[in-house]
Homo-oligomer: A and B are copies of this chain.
Amino acid sequence: MGNSFGKVFKISTFGESHGKGLGVIIDGCPAGLPIDEAFIRQELQRRKPGQSKITTQRKEEDECQILSGVFEGKSTGTPIAIVIMNTDQKSKDYSHIADKYRPSHADYTYQEKFGVRDYRGGGRSSARETAARVAAGAVAKLFLKHIGVEINAYVSQAGHIKLDKPYQELDFAEIEKNIVRCPDPEVAQDMIDYIDEIRKNRDTVGGVVSCVAKNVPVGLGEPVFDRLHADLGKSMLSINAVKGFEYGSGFEGVTMLGSEHNDAFYMDGDTVRTKTNHSGGIQGGISNGEDIYFRVAFKPVATIMKDQDSVNQAGDQVTVSGKGRHDPCVVPRAVPIVEAMAALVLADFVLLKRLNKLDV
């Protein structure tokens, strides 16, 4: 249970870190969409390990293969299955933690919940599963591009290094120009230096990914439970290491007065617009045509290269010693994952909106 996401643009993922393969079925992609495989591969490249000195040095090629649902370059309306076979399965690396519970990992909870677990590299709880999301999200992005929606995520905080500018002042074209994916080159360099220092200390640190969706049609989101921001929030909180989500004014908005916070409406030609956007583009759970804006908090990666106290399955006190090749800070690689999940949520609601009125 729990491995599907979406209502009518629906994905189901499978796969463990060190199993034979992982992947996703997309059920509900409309027929006739040109499926650009190169774009899917490119999105996977943005997520893959080993891409820079501030990410894990682990090598995974993440070559995907589309098994179904595409014919002569277009989606057919039938399920699109995308599979990524695991090639770097070094299972032996993990025997030392087979019965140990790594602190702040899912080892203990999986063991208790299921009574059995694939301990190799975290098994299903590994962030490797997000590769499947990125592949599916790429298809969702292709659908959204068709209607003009554009999504950009970026790193706005790494540890204590913050990008304080409002998103309106940023040049999103800068995001992919540096390895930390922060659109401000100077702040980016500070972040890179800081993460590199953390890495050398064999430690890890958290960060924040911000995300902006532009040209979103009015009317996305289904009250009362499936509000646009509620589903965005769930999708983000379902990403490994995420600890918080806020949109528009977020937690800071609580200190504002209603008279400051309310977004006054005005007419921009024939279009209803708001003068401010504390609502983050969402009112009553439904998009209002303004930019969707939200922030996602990631905790420090749990795997550190230091000895830690813990217990094992037998209930003995043990030491867990950090090994392997891990990310000192997860946010640079989280950027495409945040975008993918946002794209999946928006694609879902774009389709659902077709059901709202008597006629289309």
Contacts and interface: CB of A to CB of B under 8 A. Distances in A.
Interface stretch (A37-45, A61-69, A177-185): A61-69
Interface string A9-34: 01011111001111101011011110
Contact of A118 (B76, B123, B129, B297): B76
Contacts of A203: 257-259
A257 B205 contact: yes
Given A231-B234, A238-B227, A261 B206 contact: yes
A101 B87 CA distance: 43
Interface string A223-256: 1111101110111011000011111111101111
B237 A245 contact: yes
Contact of A104 (B205, B283, B360): B283
A356 to B, nearest CB: 5
A46 to B, nearest CB: 20
A246 to B, nearest CB: 3
Contact of A283 (B69, B109, B260, B304): B109
Contact of A234 (B222, B223, B230): B230
Given A299-B249, A304-B262, A360-B360, A238 B285 contact: yes
Contacts of A299: 248-249, 253-254, 256, 261, 278
10 contacts: A3-B79, A4-B12, A8-B355, A12-B12, A30-B357, A77-B116, A110-B284, A233-B233, A244-B246, A262-B304
Given A76-B123, A113-B218, 10 more contacts: A19-B71, A104-B263, A109-B285, A124-B223, A124-B224, A159-B254, A208-B254, A227-B237, A230-B235, A254-B298
